Amino acid sequence: MGEDRHVWWIASLGAGACAGLALPPLGWPWLLWPCLAVLWAVASSAPAPALPALLWGLALVLVSHRWLLWLHPLDWVGVPAPLSLPICVLVWLACGLAGGLAVLLWVKLVRRLDPLRPVSALQAALLWGLAEVLLSQGPLFWLGLGASALPADRALAGLGALGGAGLIATVQLGIGWLLWRALGSRVQSRRWWLLLLLVLVAVHGLGQLSLAAIPAAGGSQERLVVLQPSIPTRHKFEAGSQRALLGQLLDGQRRAAQMVPPVGSLLLPEGALPLGQALPEPPEVEVLSGGFRQPKEGVRSSLLRFSPSQREPVAWIDKHRLVPLGEWVPLARFLSWSGFSALGGLEPGAASRLLPRPAGAIGVAICYELADGHALAVASHQGARWLLASANLDPYPRLLQGQFMALARLRAIETGRWLVSAANTGPSLLVDARGRLVSLLPSGRPAQGLMVLEQRTGLTPYVRWKEWPLLMLLLWLVWHRHVQSQEGEG
């Protein structure tokens, strides 16, 4: 691309946007790899890499997170109509700018490491992969390279059983680096293309073997009924909507009680029950429902567990990662402003995602906590036998639902656990331990579905060791580089 800075700007902006399209719901890694090759070129050869790097990351996030614009209109949470769209656009742009700055910092580091060296490239790729794991535990919804293999390339996603999303992101960057070297090499081009082909075959073969190592069958079965109310959030707290929801819940309770063979649980999505709402009648089966509770610390969004014959919850797990402004209000204790939350702000719960129950413990992700694979791996290591994703996902479009589905499939592969999603507007689904979609309720309308899963107790390598192998490899590479530099100076 030469020394023309405008060419670098245009190429980086286009590559970042293309990378955003390559992420779920498409999940096309082969579309992502050329975009990563451009990013490696920026880190190595751009005359002024700061702006191209910023544009690459900005475009990636703006395209992949464009569903943020569907927050508009915000009148249902008290935001005046003239301010609604500007606020939504500002939130969208702020997320894009944050992504651009993160990529900029990474490119600055890569430039110092010398990206032409394979060891330096591996260091940089590992750093990116581990950074994604940290970002996924933060306050914002994170969709990065670690989720980019699904739904189109389940074999590559199988690497998640070995090292989680951090390993997948590292491998994606490594493939992009090899493609960049193959395209840029004039003398040894054939060698680089052959190496790229070998790596592609190796990582796909390893991913496929990892999937095959997860038992396809053999666990004890559990039968569940999933209730998908499909009540728009903007009308959720209206009296008519509340009556309709309780009517659906009562119908679901009665149907679940009459099923033969009997079912173990009835599942409802995030926020299905208002604060203080008991079940309409004593249930004959266990009910796991999203709702709210109010301990002394403040109101919390929770997954509530109702035992058979109990109208009040007997156990719960609170949402740990709250949506900034939407649920969690900065300095709420000192300001009389409730933010966007119709409840006036929520308090976070404990970090643990493990919910004990008589039929076997489960790992719980409430809404976009599904982005945090590390937390669900910890819950699986502690004894969770299957995973439950409880979500609302309204007023967001099918785009976000597709991303949610891809994350659900990746979490199942990482942990070797079956996963059930109960979502207000969809996707309510069942995924097996190898990340295959088993059942899916129609999106955007009320529905009930019987889902039969298998409980699992085995541990994948990722559940056993989390990100420690990646971290140890990165530290060893840093130490080795330091030793080499010391020897060079001597």
Please, what are the averages of pLDDT over each run of 10 residues along the chain (490 residues)? 79 96 94 97 90 96 92 70 84 92 95 90 96 88 91 96 97 97 83 95 97 88 93 77 85 87 92 88 93 87 94 94 70 49 71 94 94 96 96 86 95 97 92 96 91 95 97 92 70
pLDDT at 338: 46
C-alpha 292/C-alpha 346 separation (Å) is 9
How many angstroms separate the CA atoms of 411 and 382, rounded? 16
To the query of whether residue 236 is one of the catalytic residues in this protein, the response is: no
3-state secondary structure of 275: coil
Kindly list the domain boundaries of the chain, sorted by start residue. 5-213+466-489, 221-459
Q: How far is CA 211 from CA 104, 208, 216, 265, 434, in A?
A: 35, 5, 9, 28, 6
In whole angstroms, give the CA distance from residue 266 to residue 431.
17
Instruction: Give the residue from 330, 458, 373 showing the smallest Cα distance to 143.
Output: 373
pLDDT at 92: 92
Residue 50 pLDDT: 92
Q: What's the pTM value of the predicted model, to 2 decimals?
A: 0.93
Q: What pLDDT score was predicted for residue 348?
A: 87
Which one of the listed residues 18, 236, 319, 466 is annotated catalytic? 319
> What pLDDT shows up at residue 339?
46
pLDDT at position 336: 45
- 466 is known as an active-site residue: no
Backbone angles phi, psi at 402, to 5 degrees: -65, -40
Which pLDDT score, from 0 to 100, does residue 199 have? 97
Q: What is the DSSP string of 287-336?
A: EEEEEEE--TT--EEEEEEE-TT-SS-SEEEE--SPPBTTTB-TTTTT--
What pLDDT is stored for residue 482 in this prediction? 73
Give the chain's end-to-end CA distance (angstroms, integer). Answer: 39
Residue type, 488: G
CATH of 221-459, one of 3.60.110.10, 3.40.50.720, 3.90.1150.10, 3.30.360.10: 3.60.110.10
Candidates 222, 236, 367, 467; catalytic one: 367
Which sign, positive or negative, has the C-alpha torsion 415, 419, 424, 428?
Answer: positive
Are 184 and 434 in contact by the 8 Å Cβ rule? The answer is no
- 18 is an active site residue: no
> Rounded CA gap, 490 and 482, in Å?
12
Selected catalytic residue, list 88, 95, 222, 270: 270
Asked whether 305 and 315 are in contact (CB, 8 A), the reply is yes
